[in-house]
Structure formats: C-alpha cells, structure tokens
Amino acid sequence: MDTVALDDPMKVADEIEAFIKTLPSRTAVWWGLLAAEAACDNKPTAEEDKALQVTWSWVRHPTAKHHMVAHTVAQEYTTETAAGCALHAAAAAGILEPAPPGANTVADRQARSLSCAAVFLSVTEAMDEGLEFGYAQLLDLGKRIADNMVPWAADDHQPNHHE
C-alpha cells in the first residue's frame, strides 16, 4: 500500500478504511478493540468495560461460546461508541476457531466494517477526552497488529485498564 501524508487526516482515514479490508476479521476486531481501549484512556466506564471484556474474550478465543456471549451482550449496545462497535464486530464475525483460511463472507466484511467504525469513533472519543492521538497513530497500531507485533495470546496482552 502506498505511503500517505500522515499530516492529512482524510488521506490517513482513507488508508485505514482500505487497509482494514485486507485484514482477517479477527485481526480487524483486535484493532478495533485496542482503539476503543485507547479512546477511553484505558479507564472505561462500567458499560464500556463490559463491552471491551466480552470483545477481548472473543478475540482470544473466537469459539461458539464466546460468539454467543458477544452476540447476546451486543444486543444491549448501539454502534454509536467505539466499544459498542468493537463488540458488534466480534458478534458479526462469528465463530473463527478453527480459523477459515482467507474467509471473506458477508459476516467477515461486516466485522471489518464495524471494526473500522470502532477505529474512527475512537479518534472522536479520544478528542472528547482531551487525548492526543489520531488517525495516524491508529493506522500505525493497525499495521503493527497486522505484522503480529501486538499479539492477542492470553499471556501476551491483558486489557490495559486492568493492569
């Protein structure tokens, strides 16, 4: 993918949107989850925390059990917040263990779109919190996730707000 001028937020946002479409849905949901965590400065409200915890469980183990929980809990949330979008993305992605190679189903595309919304909303929410990060930082995060530099294995990451 061509390098864009990181000082042009619209071009970076376009690159985020194009880049997320190339990712497996689990990776996209992981990116949306981390963006949502960052947007609340890793100090989520109780409502955000529930959505983030359920999404985190699904990312670690996208099994039937975690999908059912994500699907059920997602019914309590809108897609008007980064945490809600990340949760809905996990619910949309479904059961991914074992992970289907190169899947590009409607559910995968929906999960990637909702993850993209989580990334975009996290910038707005961060600005509302007075935090200083934007599209360029989140694009960098997404690329590090895609390069396996930010793993989701149970021992490698715990949600930051619980450390």
Q: Which residues contact 67 (CB under 8 A, 6 or more apart)?
A: 58, 90, 91, 93, 94, 95
Per-residue pLDDT band for 1 (boundaries 50, 70, 90) equals: very low
For residue 155, being part of any structural domain is answered with: no
For residue 141, being part of any structural domain is answered with: yes
For residue 81, being part of any structural domain is answered with: yes
| 10 contacts 133 by C-beta, under 8 angstroms | no
Report pTM: 0.85
Convert the pLDDT of each residue in 86-99 to its tens digit.
Answer: 999 999 998 765 55
Structural domain span for residue 36: 9-150
Total structural domains within the chain: 1
What separation in angstroms does the CA of 134 have from each of 38, 43, 89, 121?
Answer: 11, 18, 21, 10
Q: Give 6: exposed, middle or buried? Use CB within 10 Å, 0-12, 13-18, 19+.
A: middle
For residue 16, being part of any structural domain is answered with: yes
Q: What is the mean pLDDT of residues 146-162?
A: 63
